[in-house]
């Protein structure tokens, strides 16, 4: 620059200075940006890098198991395979022009294996996601075929990016057993009904997110922060249900539903001294393994959700309340108006024409007039408060969704005189089956209303006790002396002359009450002439009760009376349950004869006290449970099956059907005098 002109040299130096300054500024900006990226924003960029390099794995815990009281599995979780795809990996190395053809080919091959339309598979692959479910819960054959088409050693043109993962699937070994009680689990892993919903959080466990690295084929090659699987698994729930008793209850209830063509039915078996529920049966039921194939109405647990007017079974609690209050004594006699009584502008009838009856006879013969007179003498407040003490009008507290409280009376006003009278024999109020069982349990165990138990304990996956439920007395309803007195009165119901002789169990004293309640017609608002609820609620052995059984049949088409329809169901469930519990038959005492539907000959049943002296023989009314006696076999030749069954049942006989079509032969022949409950063999033939 020495040879240059001074002015030119100065200009060159100026330009070099400016250029150096610009470069210095650029370098400063670069350093500043690098500092901001590497120091100030290091955390966010590090997370972005980790997100690209790592996968977040959601570890789904194994859902807890539901057991019965003896350790039998009622609901378990099993692992089933599901297939997913990484579309980015599937297309890796392909020419962009060939990618659609590759996806079409993959969709066709996968769809053929999984029995899914290829277009549906293509729509999922076309999203080009790193993860997409192709089909969840596939069969073992489908899993083998998917592995073959993704294995380059077995298939020349293998598909990349296909992964088979195990998913938890809820399985119910007993199929329909306890379906409405257990509920079901949806594909998303959440319980949707019954105990599965009520204990969903405990059964499901908690999901943990684990960061890991997968190789280019999607296999996990490194993970950190993993937790012991048992720490994530859901808790196990042990119920008070007995699988054997539950099975018998459902079997007998289903048989009653089909035999009597009922709209629905429910049954509860309760241990009265602890409040433990041994069975909760509902018919119709459903299979939670295939809940999608069932009607929504079949999933309802009728024993806790359905309210109904209980009818004459409420006479038990009316008499108990009056005895406890001292307004009634066991030796009192009450005039029952020869079967007809007018209260205000309402006329109340008995199904039998009775005059003077003791409290025991009022229960045995199910006198409405006797019951209402006891209630009116007790008073509206006394009757209402007693019903509330027995647990009516409030939920029992079972851990099941949708439990109904029932209805005792309209809010804000007391019962009128007619309403008090109706409530005394179970009209104008509503209850549930489980409420009846719990209330009858208070009579059986000496006057204590127990908290009903359905869940015995909850344990974690390692077997550690999380929570245990023990028997709890909610309150004392009536004195023990009154409870024992009423229990003794109720034994007359299942003895000769009572309305519940069909519920008598050979070798055991049965205490119980029948009920045949008219249903209200929603269209007219009046009681229907042909829709009834038939029920029987009782316990046995009467002296040392081990079981309370409540049977409710809704709208039977063949027959109507609780003693005739619900009584045999009670008997068969009681016989099987007592055998399962190892309760030996009673012995000694005076023998009373009873008639049984499945045994036309009279049998004997041990009782400790003589039955109450019978009143004058009543005239047979047009309706009401018929008393045990000889009946004439009706002539039903030529009738269709339904008409024939109705006619035979109405005569107090038990039909046995063979074939279909028109009736051609019956045994015993028409006109034969046979004991009530005798089986009549009916032979039907098509085209006759």
Residues marked active site are found at 312
Q: What are the C-alpha distances in Å from 464 to residues 59, 67, 413, 456, 461?
A: 22, 15, 51, 14, 7
Query: Which H/E stretch holds residue 182?
Result: helix 179-182
Dist CA 279 CA 271 (whole Å) = 10
CA-closest candidate to residue 483, choices 273, 269, 270, 268: 273
DSSP class of 597: T
DSSP strand pairing (162-171 vs 73-85): antiparallel
- The CA angle 620-621-626, to the nearest 5 degrees, is 60
CB 516 within 8 A of CB 309: no
For residue 280, give the 3-state DSSP assignment: strand
Dist CA 73 CA 243 (whole Å) = 9
CB 113 within 8 A of CB 146: yes
Count of CB atoms situated within 10 Å of the CB of 421: 26
List strands edge to edge, sheet with 662-667.
654-659, 679-685, 662-667
Dist CA 268 CA 283 (whole Å) = 12
Question: Sign of torsion, CA 561 562 566 570?
Answer: negative
Count of CB atoms situated within 10 Å of the CB of 293: 9
- The CA angle 88-91-95, to the nearest 5 degrees, is 135
CB 620 within 8 A of CB 651: no
Question: Sign of torsion, CA 373 377 383 386?
Answer: negative
DSSP strand pairing (654-659 vs 679-685): parallel
CA-closest candidate to residue 431, choices 400, 473, 403: 403
DSSP strand pairing (73-85 vs 132-135): antiparallel
């Amino acid at each position: 620059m020495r040879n240059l002109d001074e002015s030119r040299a100065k200009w060159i130096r100026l330009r070099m200075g400016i250029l150096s300054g610009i470069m210095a500024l650029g370098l400063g900006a670069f350093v500043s940006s690098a500092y901001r990226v590497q120091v100030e924003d290091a955390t966010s960029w590090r997370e972005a890098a980790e997100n690209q390099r790592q996968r977040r794995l959601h570890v789904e815990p194994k859902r807890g198991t539901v057991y019965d009281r003896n350790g039998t599995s009622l609901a378990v979780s099993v692992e089933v395979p599901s297939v997913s795809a990484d579309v980015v990996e599937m297309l890796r190395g392909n020419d962009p022009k060939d990618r659609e053809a590759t996806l079409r080919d993959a969709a066709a091959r996968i769809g053929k294996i999984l029995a899914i339309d290829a277009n549906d598979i293509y729509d999922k692959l076309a999203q080009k996601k790193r993860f997409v479910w192709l089909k969840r819960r596939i069969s073992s054959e489908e899993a083998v075929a998917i592995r073959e088409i993704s294995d380059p050693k077995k298939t020349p043109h293998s598909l990349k990016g296909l992964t088979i993962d195990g998913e938890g699937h809820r399985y119910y070994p007993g199929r329909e057993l306890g379906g409405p009680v257990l509920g079901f689990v949806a594909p998303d892993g959440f319980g949707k009904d019954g105990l599965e919903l009520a204990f969903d959080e405990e059964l499901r466990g908690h999901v943990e997110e684990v960061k890991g690295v997968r190789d280019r084929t999607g296999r996990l090659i490194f993970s950190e922060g993993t937790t012991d699987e048992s720490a994530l698994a859901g808790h196990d729930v042990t119920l008070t249900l007995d699988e054997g008793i539950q099975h018998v209850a459902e079997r007998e209830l289903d048989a009653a539903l089909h035999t009597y063509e009922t709209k629905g039915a429910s049954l509860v078996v309760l241990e009265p001294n602890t409040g433990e529920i041994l069975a909760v049966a509902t018919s119709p039921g459903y299979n939670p393994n295939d809940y999608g194939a069932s009607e929504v109405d079949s999933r309802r647990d009728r024993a806790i959700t359905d309210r109904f007017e209980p009818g004459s079974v409420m006479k038990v609690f009316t008499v108990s309340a009056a005895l406890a209050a001292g307004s009634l004594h066991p030796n009192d006699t009450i005039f029952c108006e020869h079967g007809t009584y007018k209260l205000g502008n309402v006329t109340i009838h008995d199904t039998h024409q009775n005059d003077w009856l003791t409290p025991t006879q009022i229960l045995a013969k199910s006198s409405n007039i006797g019951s209402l007179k006891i209630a009116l003498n007790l008073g509206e407040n006394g009757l209402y408060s007693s019903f509330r003490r027995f647990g009516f009008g409030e939920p029992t507290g079972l851990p099941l969704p949708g439990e109904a409280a029932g209805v005792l009376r309209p809010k804000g006003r007391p019962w009128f005189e007619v309403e008090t009278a109706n409530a005394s024999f179970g009209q104008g109020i509503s209850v549930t089956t489980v409420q009846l069982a719990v209330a009858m349990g208070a009579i059986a165990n000496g006057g204590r209303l127990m908290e009903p138990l359905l869940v015995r304990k909850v344990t974690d996956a390692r077997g550690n006790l999380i929570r245990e439920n023990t028997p709890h007395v909610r309150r004392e309803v009536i004195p023990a002396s009154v409870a024992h007195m009423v229990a003794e009165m109720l034994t007359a119901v299942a003895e000769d002359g009572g309305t519940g002789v069909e519920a008598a169990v050979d070798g055991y004293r049965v205490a119980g009450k029948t009920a045949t309640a008219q249903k209200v017609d929603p269209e007219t608002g009046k009681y229907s002439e042909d829709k009834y609820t038939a029920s029987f609620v009782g316990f046995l052995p009467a002296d040392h009760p081990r079981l309370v059984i409540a049977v409710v049949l809704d709208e039977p088409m063949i027959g109507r009376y609780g003693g005739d329809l619900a009584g045999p169901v009670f008997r068969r469930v009681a016989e099987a349950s007592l055998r399962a519990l190892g309760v030996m038959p009673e012995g000694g005492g005076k023998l009373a004869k009873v008639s049984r539907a499945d045994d036309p000959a009279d049998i004997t049943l041990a009782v400790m006290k003589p039955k109450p002296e019978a009143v004058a023989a009543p005239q047979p009314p047009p309706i009401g449970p018929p008393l045990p006696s000889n009946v004439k076999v009706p002539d039903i030749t030529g009738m269709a099956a339904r008409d024939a069954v109705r006619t035979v049942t109405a005569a107090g006989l038990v039909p046995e059907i063979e074939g279909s079509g028109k009736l051609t032969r019956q045994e015993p022949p028409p006109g034969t005098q046979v004991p009530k409950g005798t089986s009549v063999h009916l032979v039907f033939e098509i085209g006759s």
